[in-house]
Amino acid sequence: MDITIHPLQEFMSIIEVQGLSKTYPVALKQPGLKGTLNHFFRRTYRSIQAVQDVSFTLDTGEIVGFLGPNGAGKTTTLKMLTGLIHPSSGQVRVAGYIPFRRQPQFLKKMSLVMGQKQQLLWDLPALDSLKINAAVYQIPEAEFKHRVQELSQLLALEGKLTQPMRKLSLGERMKAELLAALLHHPPVLFLDEPTLGLDVNAQAAVREFLREYNRRYEATILLTSHYMADITALCQRVLLIHEGQLMYDGSLDGLLERFAPYREVKVELTELVPLEQLNQYGEIETMEGREVRFLVRREDLTRTVAQLLAQLPLEDLSVADPPIEEVIGRLFKQGVEG
């Protein structure tokens, strides 16, 4: 395994990723007895490139969204940033440390929360598991009590930590997992689908907590989520990864400017109009009764709006950027098909 690390290179940001790649060998097996024997005695492999030459930096206090379809390389990247797996090549520093060395000082600087995994024991009250975490991180008793009280208030978990985890709701369990992950006040937080499966109210509560934690402690947060409300509520900057490659690194507004060369025009008609007549004004995204939503190229917007006002029986008209989730969905679809 070729791991290229240059410890003497100066890293300025709290997270520095340069040329990060991860390749997995996958064994090939033909069907039948012959294939099984060959697989046992003369195994052959092919290489899967999970992450390819990814580079980015995060500064202290940033909340950055990490987006991509399933299998794009998001979780693999997070695991390399937290030291769970070794990179095949590239340079990584998180809070001044090389993650895969797993130094105790590094482990106290960061935390990883995965929405589909849990660290707290199912049959024990969350408080018992938190005491174990406090011992691991060498948090004094008085400080432990203060932090539990502070974080449980922020997460609205007062009175819940003495109940077995299995008796808490899904939202309460996720909040308890966040409390456990942040008990040692890490300055770097990696979140992999933290609101997965939660209802709308629980998602909003988690988002509000993360916003407050970031404000209070100036924590750096790298967040993956399939819920675009998480991204739009918390992140001014996003990273887009597709098939292991970084496609975009910039602001949400810049994403629209670069990858959405159209605007959304919504009209409400005073009477029904034949579909054939409407098609001339742009791509029809939805049509429900007298309400129609068009996608119009930005350079055609002024002319198209003038035509709509002059030629259709309108009661209302509005122009906006398309929803960010639609932009990203189209982008990934084009990437796969292109």
Burial class (CB in 10 A: 0-12, 13-18, 19+), 108: middle
Cα 221 to Cα 216: distance, rounded to the nearest angstrom: 13
Amino acid 334: pLDDT: 62
Q: In this structure, how many other beta carbons lie within 10 angstroms of the beta carbon of residue 112?
A: 20
Amino acid 262: pLDDT: 83
| Angle of CA points 38, 41, 42, to nearest 5° | 65
Amino acid 335: pLDDT: 56
DSSP per-residue codes, 146-194: HHHHHHHHHTT-TTTTTSBGGGS-HHHHHHHHHHHHHTT--SEEEEEST
Residue 125: DSSP 8-state:
B
Residue 98 near residue 176 (C-beta atoms within 8 A):
no
Cα 1 to Cα 89: distance, rounded to the nearest angstrom: 8
Q: What is the pLDDT of residues 82-95, one digit of tens each?
A: 999 999 999 999 99
- If DSSP states are collapsed to H, E and C, what string results for 6-45? CCCCCCCCCEEEEEEEEEEEEEECCCHHHHHHHHHHCCEE
Amino acid 263: pLDDT: 86
Which domains does the chain possess? 58-89+98-255 (3.40.50.300), 261-320 (3.30.70.980)
Residue 268 near residue 291 (C-beta atoms within 8 A):
yes
pLDDT (tens, 9 = 90+) of the chain, 338 residues, equals: 333 333 334 446 899 999 999 999 888 888 888 878 877 788 888 888 999 999 999 999 999 999 988 888 999 999 999 999 999 999 999 999 999 999 999 999 999 998 777 888 889 999 999 999 999 999 999 999 999 999 999 888 988 999 999 999 888 998 999 999 999 999 999 999 888 888 888 888 889 999 999 999 999 999 998 888 899 899 999 999 988 999 899 998 888 777 777 888 999 999 998 888 898 998 898 899 899 999 898 889 999 999 999 999 999 999 987 777 777 777 776 654 44
Amino acid 11: pLDDT: 46
Q: 320 CB contacts (<8 Å, ≥6 apart)?
A: 263, 264, 266
Rg (CA), the chain: 25
Residue 95 near residue 110 (C-beta atoms within 8 A):
yes
With tokens 């024990």, the residue in question is: 124
With tokens 């600087």, the residue in question is: 109
| Angle of CA points 12, 18, 21, to nearest 5° | 150
* Closest CA relative to residue 17, chosen from 91, 69, 127: 91
Amino acid 116: pLDDT: 73
